[in-house]
């Protein structure tokens, strides 16, 4: 059985992933949406069977279980058949989150209302880390993966002294230099410290800083990220190559995104939004090899809840200098698109660990908007790389 520790366990993405995994195990639904269940990856079952145990950290709804969190979100959106949730209620009621940290997670976290965090308990950085490590030690075995599905953090305050090396990072913790660390870094550090693969489904810093890349290599641990590619950017990185293939020049690309839920509330704050916009905006230059004029905006639209709607306008130039236009609307339910990818990323990371792979698994770029250590953003090429990497390591 695989164990997945979810950072942000009571959020809609995590609760949907847990519900879906248990529903599949009980034979209530099929495996539509799971990349790891496609024909090229059928042999993953030999290494990572589809059977899961879940745990996680959270800063809200701590008196409840995974079922309470899933029911809360389902009542707001009805994003799947309610009979599915009834069918896994017994499983979800056994899953309870541990108190986590939201250190330097930005002003958007204030929108959550009542929260309970380790830093509110007056703990130092070292004490926070030890609590996280203790929780993970009690849960983990050789088949454990940590996935960060928490809300987007602001762009981290970078320090070469503290982020540039593992020695500096650990000294920062001991010196309690809180201004240079974010929650996602602490979770990534704890996971990699214990030899647990780590996946960052958010645009937050996570394991992307040099110090934590060094730790992953030192402890022979695979990790991957950043920012799960589920909606408008998935379309963008799939569609933009078409213009390149036809030698059509993109002059400008406007992306206007509206969404609700806690993700929307958090991203309504400029400090939290910045890293998300950077993640979404950087894809075009990497796909095209040049920088067209871009507008990328994200706005909170409360009544949408977890629906994410994107309005995209593309201005491009073709033969004889003629300017033309294309526009599309993407309307998706974020949790339904993201939840299976959380399970996929966890399975591929555990597969990587079993195969002795360490450091950044850049071949998992297919799953991310801002993949680490690769400039391959074209969805088609990413998918081919994922297949090749998997089959070569069987």
**pLDDT at position 277:** 58
CA distances from 13 to 7, 70, 212, 272, 298 (A): 11, 9, 25, 18, 19
**pLDDT at position 106:** 73
How is 197-232 classified by DSSP, letter by letter? Answer: -EEE-SSS-TT-SHHHHHHHHHTT-EEEESSB--SH
274 vs 8: CA distance, rounded Å: 20
Q: Are strands 98-99 and 144-148 parallel, antiparallel or unpaired?
A: unpaired
**pLDDT at position 273:** 46
Tokens of 304: 């949408």
**pLDDT at position 274:** 58
Q: How many structural domains compose the chain?
A: 2
Kindly state whether residues 211 and 273 are assigned to the same domain.
no
**How does DSSP classify residue 289?**
S
End position of a domain, from candidates 306, 332, 358: 332
Digit-coded pLDDT (tens) for 258-305: 988 766 666 555 655 455 556 556 788 889 999 999 999 888 898 888
302 vs 364: CA distance, rounded Å: 33
**pLDDT at position 294:** 93
**pLDDT at position 105:** 82
374-393: b (≥16 Cβ within 10 Å) or e: eebbbbeebbebbbebbeee
End position of a domain, from candidates 332, 350, 373: 332
**pLDDT at position 282:** 73
322 vs 304: CA distance, rounded Å: 38
Q: What is the mean pLDDT of each run of 10 residues along the chain (394 residues)?
A: 97 97 98 98 97 96 93 93 98 97 78 84 97 98 98 89 98 96 97 98 96 98 96 92 97 92 62 55 85 91 89 97 96 95 98 98 97 94 98 97
Interacting residues of 326 by C-beta distance below 8 A, sequence separation 6+: 313, 314, 316
10 Å Cβ neighbour count for 320?
5
Provide the CATH number for the domain around residue 255.
3.30.360.10
237 vs 285: CA distance, rounded Å: 10
Tokens 């949730």 belong to: 85
How is 216-282 classified by DSSP, letter by letter? Answer: HHHTT-EEEESSB--SHHHHHHHHHHHHHHTTPEEEEEEEEEEE-HHHHHHHTSHHHHHHHHHHHHT
339 vs 23: CA distance, rounded Å: 13
Kindly state whether residues 242 and 193 are assigned to the same domain.
no
Backbone angles phi, psi at 57, to 5 degrees: -110, 150
Kindly state whether residues 208 and 133 are assigned to the same domain.
yes
322 vs 326: CA distance, rounded Å: 13
Kindly state whether residues 90 and 170 are assigned to the same domain.
yes
207 vs 76: CA distance, rounded Å: 33
Kindly state whether residues 148 and 278 are assigned to the same domain.
no
Kindly state whether residues 24 and 119 are assigned to the same domain.
yes
**pLDDT at position 61:** 80
Tokens of 165: 């090396």
Kindly state whether residues 224 and 236 are assigned to the same domain.
no
End position of a domain, from candidates 309, 332, 355: 332
Kindly state whether residues 320 and 180 are assigned to the same domain.
no
207 vs 270: CA distance, rounded Å: 23
**pLDDT at position 269:** 54
Tokens of 209: 């800083």
CA distances from 106 to 44, 132, 182 (A): 38, 20, 10
Kindly state whether residues 100 and 191 are assigned to the same domain.
yes
Range of the domain at 259: 232-332
Kindly state whether residues 111 and 158 are assigned to the same domain.
yes
10 Å Cβ neighbour count for 187?
28
Kindly state whether residues 199 and 224 are assigned to the same domain.
yes
Closest CA to 378 of 255, 285, 276, 277: 285
Kindly provide the residue ranges of all beta strands, DSSP E only, lying in the chain, ordered along the sequence.
Answer: 2-7, 52-58, 98-99, 144-148, 198-200, 222-225, 249-259, 293-300, 307-317, 323-333, 359-360
Provide the CATH number for the domain around residue 38.
3.40.50.720
**pLDDT at position 156:** 85
Kindly state whether residues 314 and 345 are assigned to the same domain.
no
In degrees, to the nearest 5, what angle opens at C-alpha 178 toward C-alphas 173 and 182? 90
Note whether 165 and 214 are within 8 A (CB).
Answer: yes
């Amino acid at each position: 059985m695989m164990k997945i520790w979810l950072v942000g366990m009571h959020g809609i993405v995590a609760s949907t992933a847990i519900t879906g995994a248990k529903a599949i195990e009980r034979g209530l639904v099929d495996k539509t949406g799971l990349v790891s269940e496609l024909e090229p990856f059928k042999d993953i079952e030999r290494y990572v069977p589809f059977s899961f145990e879940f745990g996680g950290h959270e800063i809200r709804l701590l008196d409840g279980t995974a079922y309470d969190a899933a029911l809360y979100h389902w009542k707001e959106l009805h994003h799947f058949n309610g009979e599915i949730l009834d069918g896994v209620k017994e499983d979800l009621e056994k899953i309870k989150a541990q108190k986590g940290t939201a250190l330097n997670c930005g002003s958007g976290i204030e929108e959550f209302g009542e929260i309970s965090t380790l830093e509110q308990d007056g703990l130092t950085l070292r004490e926070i880390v030890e609590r996280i490590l203790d929780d993970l030690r009690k849960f983990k075995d050789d088949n454990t993966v940590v996935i960060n599905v928490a809300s987007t953090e602001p762009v981290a305050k970078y320090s070469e002294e503290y982020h540039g090396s593992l020695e500096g990072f650990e000294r920062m913790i001991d010196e309690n230099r809180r201004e240079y660390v974010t929650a996602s870094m602490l979770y990534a550090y704890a996971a990699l410290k214990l030899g647990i693969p780590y996946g960052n489904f958010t645009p937050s810093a996570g394991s992307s800083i040099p110090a934590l890349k060094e730790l992953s290599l030192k402890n022979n641990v695979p990790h991957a990220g950043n920012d799960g590619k589920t909606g408008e950017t998935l379309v963008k990185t799939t569609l933009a190559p078409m213009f390149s293939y036809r030698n059509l020049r993109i002059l400008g690309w406007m992306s206007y995104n509206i969404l609700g839920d806690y993700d929307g509330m958090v991203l309504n704050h400029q400090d939290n939004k910045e890293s998300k916009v950077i993640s979404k905006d950087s894809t075009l230059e990497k796909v095209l090899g040049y920088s067209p004029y871009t507008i990328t905006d994200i706005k909170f639209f409360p009544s949408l809840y977890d629906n994410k709607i994107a309005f995209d306008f593309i201005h491009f130039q073709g033969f004889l200098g003629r300017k033309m236009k294309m526009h599309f609307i993407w309307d998706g339910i974020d949790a339904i698109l993201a939840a299976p990818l959380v399970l996929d990323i966890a399975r591929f990371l555990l597969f990587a660990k079993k195969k002795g792979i360490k450091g950044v698994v850049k071949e998992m770029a297919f799953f991310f908007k801002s993949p680490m250590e690769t400039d391959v953003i074209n969805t088609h090429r990413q998918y081919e790389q994922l297949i090749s990497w998997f089959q070569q390591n069987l």
